[in-house]
Structure 1
């Protein structure tokens, strides 16, 4: 990041938002004049309400409310927030992005805040600004010091590429050892590869990825996705001391993907890893059944029920 407080990135980025019927955060907020204090619960556990990012989001929301003069009647009431997600937290699966996007959306509804809310979500978690939109989303890094031009825009809705499928492989649902925020600070301070990536490589890849999404060119999309994931983790290793996120199972999944693509004669599946060992695989619908069947053979389990969840897949028991 070029600004930790406003959470302003050093480069543009593109992501896809998953189907909220399958993986999502759910947040309920109640404002009441009789509440003695503000409270927040995450996955059933009460957490501190004084976190700097949460406070930053609330401060900006209140500023907008005061400007609009719409819900000034309840803006001073204390609130209770209950948030939960149906996938592992702090394990490299964008739980903070989902959580803050959902939180900001709920707060905007509560206080009748209009206009773009991606900049508000960014104050909680950078990736959250992309998660307020569905489909394919681009986060502009912006140039202004106040961050007003660092917002997200939808490149294409999910319906643009209807046969695209995403398979999440949960390798380890435990909390990661290195938090993303601290790791990024360390990378900026110590990685000599990072500046070259942000200044030279990413701009070209962003343009290529936008083109691949627009034309629905899966082999091109897959190669860019995997190369970018590899480079991200190369920077993690170039950080001093290094940040290790992938484990042996993560590496085995990478090897499987390349072996499968070689067997098929072209890129039919792509992997990407965030700051954690859990894989996100992209493929087209007609490959899903075969890929999941092979994964079940390579990585067997003794769990009889609930091992595979999500959209029904022909030939696989979910």
Structure 2
């Protein structure tokens, strides 16, 4: 099999099985074709020595670029082995630069409490105000379901049904996912929907289209200022990070979180495992079955003294 044929089949597999986005496929294809060119068309048959030479050719590139190229080639060689094109996987010879992913900005539970207290104060002061009801619905969906900003503002008017505690979204790469919707969020959306015309295509309309991401960003920062939170610390994406972080702190399963967030790669979700280490130790001590075995058995009761 030629390099060109193998690359096409690999990208087709990523598109069909992994739902990879078009831009991802273009980037992967570019990296693989570039590696093939450096090896004079011998990528499929490359051995460890050839891959070491390839790594030396990347020395002038940034650490991030080398890490990306190595990651793509590892997946490519794993694919070749799975398909029986090769009987071995030489990718251990590729460089492994120490790239540390930046932790996402997030908010503490106290920050979230202050935001929702500010929303409730608005509700009391502006009873029945449609814009307040809209803002409450937006925040309930951002923090309560972890939606991306684009997904949120472009929701169809009838995306949520009163009898269905979830919605189905088409996110990055055209991948569909099921997103649980809390009772609170459904109630907030129902309050807001009463003010949206029945023939309106968007749940959050604005002019002739839907609410823009820029306007959502502004609304989030305005409420943060009211709640006494520095506006530069918050954005719609920070609320999505808070959703993920707080679920993990509460003991949520990483795979379940990956599904809810719509991540194609579990590695992307694992960035949220920066949760408080003391909480994790407490979780292990409380939940691990060996902890019961490690605890000393209670001393037997002393026999009663003879009368």
Give the TM-score taking structure 1 as reference length: 0.26
TM-score by length of 2: 0.27
Structure with greater helix share of residues? 2
Q: Which has the larger radius of gyration?
A: 2
Going by fraction, where is strand more abundant, 1 or 2? Answer: 1
